Amino acid sequence: MNLNKQQGFTMIELIMVIVILGILAATALPKFVDLGKDARAASVNAAKGALSSVAAMAHGKYLVSATPPASIVAEGVTITFSTAFASGYPKADASLAAAAGLSASDYTITASSTANTLTISPISAPTATASSCSVVYAEPTSATAAPVLTVTVTGC
């Protein structure tokens, strides 16, 4: 009686199992990993940095001018200074966003003249939570104050 008993798996069988597991992992992984949220949060933080930089550069130009200007031109965009207080910081309007390189093709740009704020939100942000995925530039509240930039990324 000469019966052949199988002692284990063949190399081909092991390779096939590894290939099948690799295919399953490659198709299931994108469903479990949502990198869009992280990308939108990074975009909001980048917008904050751009607004902060433009505000600082405009303020520096305001301070070194012999007579305080009503506006300056930066990046080919006219930036108007806040008129509520003579702080030398830019007004919260669409021209500030344009000077910062933030365009309407990438961001929802909302200026509120009553609240003196500029809200920037990525277009790809979920509509219901756009306000919780944004940066808000608020004009200074006194002549010696700086603008306040508030970042919210909880709803990205």
Contacts of 42 (CB under 8 A, 6+ apart): none
Q: Cα–Cα distances in Å, from 121 out to 22, 66, 67, 79, 88?
A: 38, 37, 35, 21, 25
- Return the minimum-mean-pLDDT range out of 4-18, 68-82, 108-122: 4-18
The domain limits of the chain are 35-152
The pTM for the full model equals 0.75
From CA 27, how far away is CA 43, in angstroms rounded? 27
What would the pLDDT profile of 81-106 be if each residue is shown by its tens digit?
A: 887 778 889 999 999 999 999 998 99
In this structure, are strands 107-112 and 77-80 parallel, antiparallel, or unpaired? Answer: unpaired
Query: Where does the pLDDT of residue 127 fall: very low under 50, low under 70, confident under 90, or very high at 90 and above?
Result: low
Residue 148: alpha-carbon gap to chain centroid: 16
- Answer whether 44's CB lies under 8 Å from 156's CB: yes
Average pLDDT rounded to a whole number, residues 17-26: 91
Report whether pLDDT(54) > 90: yes
